[in-house]
Structure 1
């Protein structure tokens, strides 16, 4: 009981000391601008955005499409275009992987695991996740072509352009966003090094 009282008094004295040391900041004489007064795209002012691209190769080593990534203040806008015949028709898992290496054509294991990998945390619907590299599935039409755009707030461009780079991977099947470790999406069928 006495120990709890001593700890409580010590914590209160620390809080009082920290409050005494803080000095109020002086407000500027002129009022701050409102949101409507701030310059924006109509005024030629844009946020500083990083851009990256990836040439996506299929499991035979030929280019089947491209990915363009645009970093914004709150995440990444991702656009993928796959040429006719590039994928089998239907849904495919799409993930960001932690190593920018697609040299092992056909397996694409050199790209490592997902960006921000969490043991047992894969999946956009997983209460233990999601991982930073989790992205919604991509749909390929009857001709194997796909056009896709998504925005993710789970990662930033600086995470993807670190020393060992990163890669965008497409899987043979759909990601169920819950099963471990890749949502049951199957083999890696396409890979692009993000540059």
Structure 2
């Protein structure tokens, strides 16, 4: 009887353990789930941080990445702004901080997307015309509209900043306040 009683705590511990292959939570934002691939998506940018900036972008799957086109208005004429894909599709905070950091599935340093190492969500700066409207026409390699969770930007956010991205300051290019935010949504 004593050997059985002595072994009981070990049996209970073994019964309570799990064999999950999932990693332990790290406190980081969960990765976007894989979703069906689509050919196009839209982004309705709404003002943040008390700005009057808003706009609409279309996104199309193209040539190994995603191509964004559209207009963003309410800017100072001739002003230049950083624009990035952020990790979370949440624009609920007044300052758009709920969108999290830049989309960066490969844990690279921030940089210029037109050369060198950079976040997957880093995009070239955009400049407003004389009427305060920035025309976006930019291709971003390495992202998808649906498909694999690591490259999928459906359900993530596009965030526009108050200043130009310097492409050097870590972790986000010193581009200032978040002045507009919109979630990337499948479909046109």
TM over 0.5: same fold? Answer: yes
Structure 2 residue aligned with 1:82, among 72, 75, 90? 72
1:145–1:63: structure 2 CA closer, same or farther, 3 Å change rule?
Answer: closer
CA displacement 1:119-162 (0-9 Å, x = unmatched): 670012685x311000000111232111110111132222112x
Count of aligned positions: 141
> Where in structure 2 are there 5+ consecutive unaligned residues?
1-36, 147-151
Contact 1:96–1:166 at 8 Å: present in 2 too? Answer: yes
In structure 2, distance between residues paired with 1:187 and 1:148: 19
In structure 1, distance between residues paired with 2:159 and 2:69: 13
TM-score by length of 1: 0.65
1:124–1:174: structure 2 CA closer, same or farther, 3 Å change rule?
Answer: same
User: How far off is 1:179 after superposition?
Assistant: 1.2
Say if 2:171 is the partner of 1:178: no
Paired residue for 1:137? 125
Report SS of the residue matched to 1:77. strand
Say if 2:50 is the partner of 1:57: no
Paired residue for 1:25? none
In structure 2, distance between residues paired with 1:150 and 1:120: 21
In structure 2, distance between residues paired with 1:156 and 1:169: 18
Say if 2:92 is the partner of 1:103: yes
User: How far off is 1:62 after superposition?
Assistant: 6.7
TM-score by length of 2: 0.67
State the structure with more CA Rg: 1
Paired residue for 1:153? 141
In structure 2, distance between residues paired with 1:104 and 1:49: 28
Say if 2:106 is the partner of 1:113: no
In structure 1, distance between residues paired with 2:53 and 2:165: 23
Say if 2:181 is the partner of 1:188: no
CA displacement 1:152-178 (0-9 Å, x = unmatched): 1132222112xxx20000000000111
Over aligned residues, Cα RMSD in angstroms? 2.2
Higher relative contact order (CA 8 A, sep 6+): 2
